Structure 1
Amino acid sequence: MRITPEQLTSRDNERVKYAQKLMEKPAFCKAEQRFLAEGKKLCLDAAESGIVIEILYYTYMAQKRWPEIDSLPGEHISISESVAEKISGMKSAQGVFAVCRLPVWNEAQVDPTGRYIALENVQDPANVGAVLRSAAAFGFDGALLSQGCAEPFGQKALRASMGAAFKLPIIRTPDLPAALRVCSAKGMSTAAAALRGAVDLSEFKPQGGLVLAIGNEGNGLTDDAIDACEMAVKIPISERMESLNAAVAASVLMWEFRSLC
């Protein structure tokens, strides 16, 4: 840990602008291979999960309120309350932020005996975060996300995941149908949440590893993704509603095939 001796008070400081861009621009995060965690819980969760923290920004009040942040790695920079308000994506800033390296995972790291949730073009970051939270809660081993999904380390997704994004391998794939076919070739059971040609959820009896695929909030899975799976399954619901929210559907499926109670 290295402590910067002077407090940053200028909202126009380049380091402050850098943190703010990480906060506001997912494309910038992707280009920099960095993201910003805001709040005591997310910063501590990131460190405990092995995420590399490079810089920690905090106000005097935050340091006084949560002295445990002193033990976090990286360069420590004291900032004014005004600067914290500039960086924050919240109405009421907690006054502690961590610049972290994006963890890097790839498709080769998928465990053929594991359980995974796959998301295709799920664009609402709150849905992506909620799915990751459920995946961690139900003992899943990771997530596969198509390029059209919201950034899982963006602020809305991070807050919705409650730190679950730090605890799971999150694998971005340029071609989800191809990734699903590879998983099937490895002997994993693959199921698409869809209506076309679907069987009742109770009829799906996976053996060994498992991948459950969920599609876009409005359009569902593409035909290519459905065809890449072993079968399509549907969740029985009342005729009063046509469908479920993507995060709810994913959570129901993961609960049904959970590896932990």
Structure 2
Amino acid sequence: MRLMARMSHVIVIIPALNAAPSLPDTFASLEPAIACGLVSRWVLADGGSGDATVKLARARGFDVVKSLPGRGVQLAAGAARAIEGAGEGDWLLFLHADTRLEPGWAKAVKAFMAAHAGGEVAGYFQFALDDESAPARRLERFVAWRCAAFGLPYGDQGLLIPAQLYERLGGYRLMRLFEDVDIVRRIGRRRLKPVSARAITSAARFRSEGYLRRSAANLLLLARYFLGADPEKLARAYGRRKA
């Protein structure tokens, strides 16, 4: 009698810091994948929130990990917890706290995992903003071009990666900025593939700072990073912009 192969599951990891306003929508977008059995666990890595972030996460059944602040640090801490219970063939899905996946994403992820089972491939979602303005559409088109031309998705597009590949790569480095660029460069363009679903991110900061101004500032920081600037100094510069 032939034994059935074990179904691969997804473990979701979300880094969060004072993210209570956006988390309910993010959580709601994930719940159908739990109901259909695709997502087996979810982990929230909290960087010291002073709001209701942890309470909301625990109420939804999240495994909450306490961490020092810094997205790379939190992602690494959340992944370490997730991998403790990961089975052979399981995947990790890293998602920002202000990003929600569009309806139907679970079907797209199942198809992606089936197409790349046992392979050395990671996936990212199509970038979208919760803004219907022309500047938002232009930015979405630019991000699509950047991904196609350079294989450079950012963290707000999610990262779907086999747990074993994540471990072989050494995981996220303890960086407060550009941890997403660092890991996709180690994955490599040939091993990065798009998932046929959108990750919809809050456009609040773009609306607040201005699309052109924020995009230009982000590109300047990225250029400095590629030229060898210290990510810690860049993180401080990024933090001053948000203050």
Structure 1 or 2: more helix by fraction: 2
TM-score by length of 2: 0.30
Tell me which of the two structures has the higher relative contact order, counting C-alpha pairs closer than 8 angstroms and 6 or more residues apart.
Answer: 2
TM-score by length of 1: 0.29
Larger radius of gyration: 1
